[in-house]
Amino acid sequence: MNIFILTGAGLSAESNLGTFRDKGDGLWTRFDPMKLATPGAFARNPGEVHAFYNMRRQNLLAAEPNEAHRALARLEAGLVGRGNFFLVTQNIDDLHERAGSQRVTHMHGELLKARCTACTSAMPWREDLSVNLTCPHCGRTGTLRPDVVWFGEVPLQMDAIDDALAQSDLFVSIGTSGSVYPAAGFVEQAKELGIRAYEINLEPSDNARLFDEAHYGPATQAVPAWVEKVLAASVRS
Ligand code: BJW
């Protein structure tokens, strides 16, 4: 069995990192993404964008992976030699890695990395960013930005993602509203290729009608339960 998994903010919600669009406390219900998550916003007001990502980086450094992250790491380990496992996340946190996942594709980048807009070097970064910093690679000042993918930018590793999806037997979408492309289009791609699609989310996503099967509930309960079923079936087969 070749499994392709897409994760979103709902997976890390129970690690206290919040989501983008949940009513009330979603980041994009409190902050305007057009002022914080576009290249134009960064060009116009880098200080405000840095403050937003500095706050989120500090929250991330205080957060811990949850049972859903740990279950996906167990699944990856349990499927070694039994099939391909491809995990792509829209999340910019490092909770999959800290839970033990070995191979994670971060299509929207990583909050614990900075990138220089002048020389394009990317580097690990755990401190606050500001316009006063100098790039350690090229020596220019004011050019460092969070290494994340904003609206209007092309998500990372799309060729590898498309290849892995095409080779899978099962597409599983976990904790994502299905409202941001190209990730929101993966389920349609899967269906066109005849691949079964399964959704795990707190509530039906924008694309819920496209999935063959779904389980609605908190990720920390729904994901471990599903993983145990898959691992048990893989041992029998
Ligand atoms: C739980 C739970 C619990 C809660 N347990 N579940 C049409 C077609 C194609 C593109 C476009 C289009 N129209 C517009 C576009 C462009 C745009 C786009 O999609 N806009 C939409 C608003 C319509 N897309 C882009 O600009 C992208 N680039 C692009 O398309 O380039 C062109 C190109 C593509 C491919 C090849 C070649 C060219 C870039 C998108 C970048 C998105 N960036 C952000 C910010 C990243 C940095 C940061 O974190 O600040 O990424 S926006 C934000 O949304 C973030 C997320 O990764 C992304 C998705 O959010 P997610 O994860 O789904 O979170 P939520 O909050 O929406 O949903 C959470 C879900 O969890 C909910 O359903 C809850 O119910 C659930 N939940 N608690 C389980 N405990």
Q: Which of 100, 128, 148 is the last residue of a domain?
A: 148
Nearest CA to ligand 1 atom 43: 150
Closest ligand 1 atom number to CA of residue 177? 73
**Could you tell me if 137 and 235 lie in one domain?**
no
What's 172's domain CATH number?
3.40.50.1220
What is the predicted pLDDT for the residue at 160?
98
**Could you tell me if 144 and 203 lie in one domain?**
no
Q: Which of 96, 88, 30, 106 is nearest to 63 (CA)?
A: 96
Number of C-beta neighbours around residue 42 at 10 A: 18
What is the predicted pLDDT for the residue at 237?
73
Domain enclosing residue 99, as ranges: 1-17+66-108+155-237
pLDDT tens-digit readout, 21-68: 998 889 999 999 999 999 999 999 999 999 999 999 999 999 999 999
**Could you tell me if 10 and 91 lie in one domain?**
yes
Residue 236 has pLDDT above 80, yes or no: no
pLDDT tens-digit readout, 101-145: 999 999 999 999 999 999 999 999 999 999 999 999 999 999 999
**Could you tell me if 26 and 92 lie in one domain?**
no
| 156 band by pLDDT with thresholds 50, 70 and 90 | very high
**Could you tell me if 164 and 215 lie in one domain?**
yes
Distance (angstroms) between ligand 1 centre and the Cα of 99 equals 23
Average model confidence (pLDDT) for the chain?
97
**Could you tell me if 165 and 211 lie in one domain?**
yes
What is the predicted pLDDT for the residue at 49?
98
Distance (angstroms) between ligand 1 centre and the Cα of 2 equals 25
Give the chain's domain count: 2
Residue 204 near ligand 1, beta carbon < 6 Å = no
**Could you tell me if 225 and 170 lie in one domain?**
yes
Residue 154 near ligand 1, beta carbon < 6 Å = yes
**In this structure, are residues 114 and 146 in contact, taking their beta carbons and an 8 Å threshold?**
yes
Q: Which residues contact 91 (CB under 8 A, 6 or more apart)?
A: 7, 8, 9, 11, 12, 17, 106, 108
What is the predicted pLDDT for the residue at 110?
98
**Could you tell me if 228 and 118 lie in one domain?**
no
Closest ligand 1 atom number to CA of residue 203? 75
What is the predicted pLDDT for the residue at 54?
98
**Could you tell me if 175 and 85 lie in one domain?**
yes
Residue 39 near ligand 1, beta carbon < 6 Å = no
Residue 146 near ligand 1, beta carbon < 6 Å = no
**What is the distance between the alpha carbons of residues 47 and 55, in angstroms, rounded to a whole number?**
12
The best mutation among 6, 48, 180, 205 to test binding of ligand 1, ranked by most ligand atoms within 8 Å of the C-beta, falls on: 180
What's 39's domain CATH number?
3.30.1600.10
SS3 64: coil
| 235 band by pLDDT with thresholds 50, 70 and 90 | confident
Closest ligand 1 atom number to CA of residue 7? 62
**Could you tell me if 72 and 94 lie in one domain?**
yes
**Could you tell me if 117 and 219 lie in one domain?**
no
**Could you tell me if 192 and 144 lie in one domain?**
no
Residue 179 near ligand 1, beta carbon < 6 Å = yes
